[in-house]
Chain A
């Protein structure tokens, strides 16, 4: 299995621009998670989906952030407009339902720099 795939791996953009991050979960996994990693806040959950439906978006910082999962093999995280404080590494993870002890498998991350 190829694991969780994220693109792009690096993104540099200017403040005010729209940014779209992409994720392909492991085939057959029915949970998908978006996390953000920063020096100040560490790793924090932004949103997660179950069977393509958003379940908990309480970690999404503000309305500039949106996430979609149009099908079981693809999800996007969009920031519009982007701001320098959005600079971080964004991780996608997926898991297979087996209960609350599900192991989440992480992608390599997208390093976003907003100038």
Chain B
């Protein structure tokens, strides 16, 4: 069975500082990994995905993610956080058999002014 883990329920960072939201995965076969963001009372918005190739994936709103096969990690990063980045972030892995996304438990990012 495929799974992802987000070890931090909440991450606090000051505006302007770099941020990292952690994700580790467990899959059999090639991993297809995704990051989504959820703002209050909104749906999930796609940020970026890793399929193959370059280990550094660039996405929307200045976010990027680093795929590390040896550590089975796919951490989300941003060089300089904005207050408006405060939201709930989900890591997900594609279950290629079921064609469904398996989501992590989510990490709440709080950026303080």
**Interface footprint category on A:** 20 to 34
Chain A binding site: helix, strand, loop or mixed by DSSP?
Answer: strand
B99, A48: Cβ atoms under 8 Å? yes
CA distance A56 to B97 in the complex (A): 10
B: interface residue count bin: 20 to 34
B43 with A4: CB separation less than 8 A: yes
Nearest CB on B from A93, distance (A) = 8
- A101 touching B32, Cβ below 8 Å: yes
Q: Do B103 and A43 touch (CB < 8 A)? A: yes
Inter-chain contact B43/A100, CB cutoff 8 Å:
no
B101 contacts A by Cβ under 8 Å: yes
Of the 9-residue stretches B13-21, B44-52, B75-83, which lies at the interface with chain A? B44-52
B residues contacting A by CB (< 8 A) are 32, 34, 36, 41-46, 49, 51, 90, 94, 96, 98-101, 103-106
